[in-house]
Amino acid sequence: MRKSNKKGYYFIIDAFIGSTIIFLSLLIILNGGIKPSKIQYNYEMAEEYSTFILNTKIQDLNNEYVNSLTTSHAINDTTLTIMEQVDLFYYNNDTSHAKFMIQNLTDPLIAQKYSFSYDVIDGAKTVNIYNRTNINTSDAKLVVASKKITFLQINSSTLFGPVMTEIKIWI
């Protein structure tokens, strides 16, 4: 009787160990296909923000500051995307409006723990439009940048660009 009980314990413990090994193996395999790495996540985040700024039209925004610019006719064409409007402000030497527009649009979107900058690279010249710095890039653990080529037809005879717009996020 005692012998038989002892045998049962061994079987139960052994089956439990075996099940645990199989379960852990499956867990490792299945989770491996889902979870992105931290670096990849940050790359994608920078890319997503720059794509949002590149593709979203002014008319699709509901932002108090942007609405005030439209009302005051600082923005006249709401079919332009955010990036094109920044280009237009830059072309007209009105970087102040460009700065506050980017600030108002990105601050609520990007978590405060991240530093953020928006630069226009025009030939050999790099112009910072907006910068939110928690730490210097040289001290950052991770810096990711997303670059987009932008341009804008100003009128029938003038085409601004192409210039490079760089969005940088670091932590």
Partner 1 sequence: MRFKFRMNRRAVLFSLISVLFSVLFITIFSQEFTSTYEDRIPGSNIRIKVMDVYTRNFEVYIGDSVKVATYHTLDGITIYQHNNGRMFFKDFSEFNKTFRDCMTCGYVNCSNQIPSKSCNVGDYSLKSRLDNITALSLQQLNIQTNYTLNSIDIRQDYPFEVEVTVNISYNVTDDSGANYYARWTKNSIITQEVPIVGLLEPTGYINDSTNTYRQRIARYSGVCEFDESCWTNTTTQQFYSQNNFRYYSGGVSFLQRYWNDNSVSDCCGIETIMHPTQLSNPDRTNSYIDHYYWSGSYSCAAGNKIVSLKFGSDNVSLDENTASRYGVTNQSTVYCTPP
Query: Which residues contact partner 1 by CB under 8 A?
Result: 3, 6-7, 10-11, 13-15, 17-19, 21-22, 25-26, 29, 32-33, 36-37, 39-40, 43-44, 47, 51, 54, 121, 146-151, 153, 156-159, 162-164
- The nearer residue to partner 1, 10 or 62, going by C-beta atoms, is 10
Cα(86)–Cα(120) distance, rounded to whole angstroms?
9
Q: How far is the CB of 9 from partner 1 (least distance, A)?
A: 10
Closest to 132 measured CA to CA, from 108, 160, 162, 165: 108
Q: Angle, to 10 degrees, between the axis of helix 82-91 and the axis of helix 95-106? A: 160
Amino acid at 139: D
Residue 36: cis peptide before it, omega within 30 degrees of 0: no
Block residue for tokens 């790495």: 37
Q: How far is the CB of 127 from partner 1 (least distance, A)?
A: 15
Q: How far is the CB of 44 from partner 1 (least distance, A)?
A: 7
Q: How far is the CB of 65 from partner 1 (least distance, A)?
A: 26
